[in-house]
């Protein structure tokens, strides 16, 4: 401690303040790190909760003494990661969360004092809550609201009211409900409510878009709906147009035709009854026969008492009489055929099809004189296309269908540029600053060969001149000074002799060069290259020597002088 006190006493005020600031900074960093590690350990317990569910979950966590955090404006509850699974099981056992609306658990507690109206309202609330949970079980739906209006029964037909329902859905990010999904929601709600039809269910999204069309089933308004007619017509036209495109694209190409279809539909439904009687095919239905026989005797004997005594006297025989009647009743009926035909909705009344074919383009001439010639398809090709389109679309002339096929040039065909002529051969690019003969050599790719030949000639010429210059130097004797005229004459003679020797050497080198080239070509078995680069260089040097022998001799002297040095 004494050492620490001495150390602190030896520090200046500025050093003490700096030490305190560093200590405070370290403590603050440790606290922030501890807080960050603690906050990072929180994991979502539930997300996307309704306000009432979030409140119930928070109250449950607070009563348990669990540390929690709220996120997403109260829609998400965060808890320590080590207790996420445990708390979820506890919440599920407590029936939390309840997905926004209370279901049939509303009747878990018995209320003896509730009226019939209260029971009806609670039943509707419970049914709506259960339907909301079922709709929210779909992967595309995030939240849902369901409202039900029960049907009203009455003994009077005019007082009866059908049931209705409306479903409000909130979709997840990037999700979309297809027509089949919307229809499934309608049937789900209708199947859960007695007396409710799927046509009486309306599905709306959060943006106010009606996802289905609520209609009255079997009503004339639904049958004659112009919107339904337009939808059916568009679907039929799209189907027929797809058939035409799939048929003609492999034949003429995707950009060589255009097709259009118009369909007239009949959405009225009717029922037709037909009864046919055939008299030629009559049958016996019933047969009845009756027969009546009656007999009667006439009075005989003597009138009076004697005839009425118990033992009358014998009576003479007399004639007897009777009545017989027979009746037969047969019932026949002709053969009868009864047909009942129900015509469905959406029958096609007439189809109109138009197909426009492009024409082929052909060019006559070339360049500026090229002329465009349009060639329409031949009649045989048009007839084949007409038959194919008629077979693919179910064309029926008796029904009044129309099929028109025409051939006209498209705008893209009329704007087709003429074909370009053959490109001229590329010209060699001249090198600036070089003479024409060097440009020709460069164009033929023999420039380096010419440069090599010049170097060989220059080296050979230098060696020859060096040898000739060394031999007389050994026998040189100082001659007396000559007059000016004799010195000039001797200089000219030496110049002419040197020029003649130089020309001879050049000719010899050129001949040797030609011989070497010929031997190399024969060895490679290639055709001889007819170039005269050596002759051109030789002639050029020879002309230069002839024009100015004095300058040439002076150049040779300078070379010899440099060699001796």
pLDDT at residue number 313: 58
pLDDT at residue 216 above 60?
Answer: no
pLDDT at residue number 242: 94
> Would residue 73 be called left, alpha or beta, if left means φ above 0 and alpha means ψ between -120 and 50 degrees?
left
| 3-state class (DSSP) for residue 203 | strand
Q: Is 376 exposed, middle or buried (0-12, 13-18, 19+ CB in 10 A)?
A: middle
pLDDT at residue 410 above 70?
Answer: yes
Q: What average pLDDT does this structure show over 228-233?
A: 80
Mean pLDDT rounded to a whole number for the chain: 76
Q: How confident is the model at residue 514 (pLDDT cuts 50, 70, 90)?
A: confident
Q: How confident is the model at residue 405 (pLDDT cuts 50, 70, 90)?
A: very high
Dist CA 215 CA 232 (whole Å): 16
pLDDT at residue number 473: 42
Output 436 or 237, whichever has higher pLDDT: 237
Q: How confident is the model at residue 223 (pLDDT cuts 50, 70, 90)?
A: very low
Out of 41-55, 131-145, 217-231, 307-321, the most confident range is 131-145
pLDDT at residue number 317: 53
pLDDT at residue 488 above 50?
Answer: no
pLDDT at residue number 471: 45
pLDDT at residue number 392: 92
pLDDT at residue number 403: 93
Output the furthest CA–CA distance in the chain (Å, rounded).
236
pLDDT at residue number 237: 92
Dist CA 202 CA 213 (whole Å): 7
pLDDT at residue 101 above 70?
Answer: no
Q: Is 205 exposed, middle or buried (0-12, 13-18, 19+ CB in 10 A)?
A: middle
Q: How confident is the model at residue 142 (pLDDT cuts 50, 70, 90)?
A: confident
Dist CA 459 CA 442 (whole Å): 23
pLDDT at residue 249 above 60?
Answer: yes
Question: Beta strand pairing status for 402-407 and 347-357?
Answer: parallel
For residue range 316-330, list pLDDT tens digits in order.
Answer: 555 555 678 888 888
For residue range 24-80, list pLDDT tens digits in order.
Answer: 888 888 888 777 776 777 888 888 777 778 888 888 888 888 888 888 777 788 888
Output 419 or 358, whichever has higher pLDDT: 358
Task: Say if residues 453 and 537 touch (Cβ distance below 8 Å).
Answer: yes
pLDDT at residue number 482: 42
Write the DSSP string, 60-98. Answer: HHHHHT---EEETTTTEEEEEGGGHHHHHHHHHHTT---
The single-letter DSSP state of residue 343 is E
pLDDT at residue number 440: 53
């Amino acid at each position: 401690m004494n050492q620490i006190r001495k150390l602190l006493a030896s520090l200046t005020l500025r050093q003490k303040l700096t030490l305190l600031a560093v200590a405070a900074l370290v403590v603050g960093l440790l606290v922030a790190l501890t807080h960050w590690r603690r906050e990072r350990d929180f994991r979502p317990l539930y997300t996307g909760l309704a306000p009432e569910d979030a409140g119930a979950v928070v109250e449950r966590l607070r009563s348990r003494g669990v540390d929690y955090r709220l996120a997403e404006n109260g829609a998400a509850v965060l808890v320590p990661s080590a207790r996420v699974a445990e708390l979820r099981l506890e919440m599920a056992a407590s029936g939390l969360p309840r997905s926004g609306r209370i279901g049939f658990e509303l009747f878990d507690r018995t209320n003896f004092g509730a009226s019939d109206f209260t029971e009806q309202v609670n039943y509707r609330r419970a049914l709506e809550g259960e339907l909301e949970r079922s709709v929210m079980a779909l992967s595309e739906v995030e939240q849902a609201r369901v409202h039900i209006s029960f049907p009203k029964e009455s003994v009077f037909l005019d007082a009866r009211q059908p049931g209705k329902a409306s479903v409000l859905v909130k979709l997840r990010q990037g999700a979309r409900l297809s027509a089949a999904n919307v229809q499934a929601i309608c049937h789900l709600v209708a199947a859960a409510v007695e007396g409710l039809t799927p046509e009486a269910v309306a599905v709306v999204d959060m943006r106010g878009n009606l996802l289905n069309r609520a209609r009255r089933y079997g009503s004339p308004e639904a049958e004659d709906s112009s919107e339904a007619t337009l939808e059916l017509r568009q679907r039929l036209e799209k189907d027929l147009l797809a058939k035409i495109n799939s048929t003609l694209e492999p034949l003429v190409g995707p950009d060589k035709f255009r097709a259009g279809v118009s369909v007239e539909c009949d959405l009225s439904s009717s029922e037709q009854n037909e009864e046919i009687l055939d008299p030629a095919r009559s049958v016996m239905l019933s047969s009845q026969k009756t027969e009546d026989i009656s007999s009667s005797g006439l009075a005989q004997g003597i009138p009076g008492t004697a005839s009425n005594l118990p033992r009358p006297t014998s009576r003479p025989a007399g004639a007897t009489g009777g009545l017989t009647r027979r009746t037969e009743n047969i019932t026949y009926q002709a053969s009868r055929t009864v047909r009942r035909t129900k015509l469905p909705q959406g029958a096609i009344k007439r189809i109109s099809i138009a197909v426009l074919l492009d024409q082929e383009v052909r060019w006559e001439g070339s360049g500026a004189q090229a002329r465009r010639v349009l060639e329409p398809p031949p009649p045989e090709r048009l007839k084949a296309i007409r038959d194919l389109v008629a077979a693919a679309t179910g064309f029926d002339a008796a029904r009044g269908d129309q099929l028109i096929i025409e051939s006209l040039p498209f705008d893209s065909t009329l704007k087709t540029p003429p074909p370009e002529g053959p490109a001229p051969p590329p010209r060699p690019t001249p090198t600036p600053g070089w003479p024409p003969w060097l440009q020709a050599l460069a164009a033929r790719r023999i420039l380096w060969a010419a440069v090599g030949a010049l170097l060989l000639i220059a080296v050979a010429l230098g060696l020859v001149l060096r040898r000739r210059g060394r031999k007389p130097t050994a026998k040189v004797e100082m001659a007396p000074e000559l007059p000016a005229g004799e010195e000039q004459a001797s200089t000219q003679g030496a110049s002419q002799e040197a020029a003649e020797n130089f020309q001879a050497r050049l000719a010899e080198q050129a001949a040797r060069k030609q011989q070497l080239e010929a031997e190399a070509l024969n060895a490679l078995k290639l055709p001889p290259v007819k170039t005269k680069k050596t002759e051109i260089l030789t002639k050029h040097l020879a002309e230069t020597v002839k024009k100015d022998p004095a300058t040439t001799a002076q150049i040779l002297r300078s070379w010899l002088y440099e060699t001796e040095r």
